[in-house]
């Protein structure tokens, strides 16, 4: 009886050798540290771009639609041209043949363009169906 009790106490003090598990855990830790690359803080500018169609076709479509609904509402296209300088930056933004912005697109120039566009779209009588943006080839 006495011998049995002593035997049980010896079994209870058995300890697992953790060194092997620790080695493995360190290897896993090394792997995760080496492959750690935090995701960059990026945003997205969403665009819904239908396939390009030729200008003549678009105008024919628009005239057809206008004829069906209201005869006096036709198609108005807002022309926006972006000229580039030698370095590929913005030199000038031309809105309907009049330059709106001259120089790089800094905060002040963006606001000027925004004001100008708001002024144009703020007029209720003018219905622009589309905007045509012509961008110089070397613009970056």
Partner 1 sequence: MAELNSDRVEPNLTPLLDMVFQLITFFMLVINFKGASMDLSLKLPVLGSARPLDRQGKLEPLLLNIDAEGGVHCFGRLEEIQPLIDKEARLLREQLRAAGEPAEKEFPVGVIIRADRAVPFHLLNHVIEVCQKAGYRQFSLSAMTRQETR
Contact predicate 83/135, CB 8 Å: no
Contact predicate 117/123, CB 8 Å: no
**Which residues, numbered 30-69, are part of the site for partner 1 (CB under 8 A)?**
32-33, 35-52
Contact status: 118 vs partner 1 (CB under 8 A):
no
Residue 107, φ and ψ in degrees, nearest 5: -60, -45
Nearer to partner 1, 26 or 121 (CB): 26
Nearer to partner 1, 2 or 137 (CB): 137
Q: How far is the C-alpha of 98 from the C-alpha of 114, rounded, in Å? A: 15
Site residues for partner 1 per CB under 8 A: 18-19, 21-22, 25-26, 28-29, 32-33, 35-52, 88, 135-140
């Amino acid at each position: 009886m006495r011998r049995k009790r002593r035997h049980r106490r010896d079994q209870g003090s058995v300890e697992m050798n953790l060194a092997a598990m620790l080695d493995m855990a360190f290897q896993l830790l090394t792997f995760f540290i080496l492959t750690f690359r935090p995701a960059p803080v990026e945003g997205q500018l969403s665009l819904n771009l239908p396939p390009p169609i030729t200008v003549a076709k678009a105008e024919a479509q628009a005239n057809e639609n206008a004829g069906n609904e209201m005869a006096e509402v036709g198609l108005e296209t807002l022309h926006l041209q972006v000229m580039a300088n030698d370095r590929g930056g913005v030199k000038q933004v031309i809105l309907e043949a009049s330059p709106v912005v001259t120089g790089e697109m800094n905060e002040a120039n963006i606001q000027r363009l925004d004001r100008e566009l708001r002024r144009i779209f703020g007029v209720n009588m003018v219905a622009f169906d589309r905007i045509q943006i012509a961008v110089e080839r070397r613009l970056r």
